[in-house]
C-alpha cells in the first residue's frame, strides 16, 4: 500500500461533464482528508473513504472526513488553468499523516487529487499546517496545461 501524488483519473473525466466548480463564492465545497501510510491512494482513487484515515492520538484536532478548504477562484497563468486553496491548520493536534486527499464534498465526495507527503509527518500537541503552493503554472496543486 502506498500514497502516490496524482490528479485523480475520475476527476479528469468529471471536469469534461461539468461536475466540479471551484469558483470561490458560488462553487462546490471541497475538503482535505488525511491518511496513514497504510492507505492506498493515487490516480485511480475515485472518492473519499474513511479507510486508513488518520485518527487523533489525543485531543480532537482532526475529525473524520477532514477539514473544509477555502477555494480561490481559478485563473489562467499563461495557458495553464490553476486553482489554489487557503492554507489550513489543525491546532492542538497529535497524529501522524502520510498524505491527503482533496475531494468534492458537494458532489458525492468525488476525488480531485492525492498528495503524498514523502513520508510520515507527525505532530504532538502542536499545529499541523498544510501550505498550498502558489497558484502558478508550475506549482499549483490543481493545474491543467
**Tens of pLDDT along 10-52?**
999 999 999 999 999 899 999 999 999 999 999 999 999 999 9
pLDDT of residue 57: 87
**Helix runs in the chain, H state only:** 9-16
Q: Considering only CA atoms, which of 36, 41, 37, 19 is closest in space to residue 28?
A: 19
Please tell me the predicted confidence (pLDDT) of residue 65.
Answer: 97
Provide the phi-psi class of 92: left if phi over 0, else alpha when psi is between -120 and 50, else beta. left
Instruction: Determine the 3-state secondary structure of 16 from DSSP.
Output: helix
What is residue 135's predicted lDDT score, i.e. its pLDDT? 85
Enumerate helices (H) and strands (E) in the chain, giving the number of each: 1, 8
Q: Which residue has the higher pLDDT, 136 or 98?
A: 98
Place of cell 489525543: 58
Residue 20 phi, psi (nearest 5): -110, 135
Position 112 scores a pLDDT of 98
pLDDT at 145: 87
Residues with Cβ < 8 Å from 138, sequence gap 6 or more? none
- The tens digit of pLDDT for each residue in 111-124 reads 999 999 999 999 99
Q: Kindly give, in sequence order, each residue whose CB lies less than 8 Å from that of residue 87, ignoring residues fewer than 6 positions away.
A: 129, 130, 131, 132
pLDDT at 85: 95
Read off the pLDDT of residues 47-86 as tens digits, 9 standing for 90 and up: 999 999 999 988 889 999 999 999 989 999 999 999 999 9
pLDDT at 39: 98
The number of beta carbons lying within 10 Å of the beta carbon of residue 121 is 14
Amino acid at each position: 500500500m502506498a500514497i502516490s501524488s496524482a490528479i485523480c483519473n475520475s476527476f479528469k473525466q468529471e471536469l469534461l461533464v461539468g461536475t466540479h466548480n471551484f469558483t470561490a463564492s458560488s462553487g462546490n465545497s471541497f475538503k482535505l482528508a488525511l491518511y496513514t501510510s497504510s492507505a492506498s491512494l493515487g490516480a485511480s482513487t475515485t472518492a473519499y473513504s474513511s479507510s486508513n484515515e488518520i485518527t487523533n492520538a489525543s485531543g480532537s484536532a482532526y475529525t473524520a472526513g477532514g477539514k473544509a478548504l477555502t477555494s480561490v477562484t481559478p485563473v489562467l497563468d499563461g495557458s495553464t488553468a490553476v486553482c489554489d486553496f487557503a492554507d489550513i491548520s489543525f491546532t492542538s493536534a497529535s497524529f501522524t499523516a502520510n498524505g491527503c486527499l482533496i475531494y468534492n464534498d458537494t458532489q458525492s465526495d468525488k476525488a480531485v487529487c492525492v498528495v503524498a507527503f514523502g513520508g510520515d509527518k507527525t505532530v504532538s500537541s502542536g499545529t499541523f499546517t498544510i501550505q498550498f503552493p502558489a497558484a502558478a503554472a508550475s506549482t499549483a496543486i490543481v493545474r491543467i496545461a
